[in-house]
Amino acid sequence: TIDGTAVKLNKEDFEKVLAVNLTGSFLAMKAALPHMISQQYVRIISISSVAGLIGWRGSSAYAASKAGLIALSKSLLQTGSV
């Protein structure tokens, strides 16, 4: 995985981690939701990490992406989008 402290990590690598862990999950949810809704059976399981809750030394991008995934999943539930 690409990661490191915020001081050492460059913007491009930070964005790559977000693209895989957060944007990828968002796009998969977005693609699957219309089909699930039409079947009236919506179940999405998001796999995150404790790093998304408490942070993780030397893993700023990973922790940020997992925290984002947690928030995305909770937001979908709260807005009734799922």
What is the Rg, in whole angstroms, of the alpha carbon atoms belonging to the chain? 14
pTM of the predicted model, to two decimals? 0.86
Place of tokens 């925290």: 67
As a whole number of angstroms, the distance between CA 77 and CA 69 comes to 12
Note the pLDDT tens digit of each residue in 28-77. Answer: 999 999 999 899 888 899 999 999 999 988 899 999 999 999 999 999 88
As a whole number of angstroms, the distance between CA 63 and CA 66 comes to 5
CB 58 within 8 A of CB 41: no
Kindly list the catalytic residues: 62
Please tell me the predicted confidence (pLDDT) of residue 3. Answer: 67
32 burial (CB, 10 Å; 0-12 / 13-18 / 19+) is middle
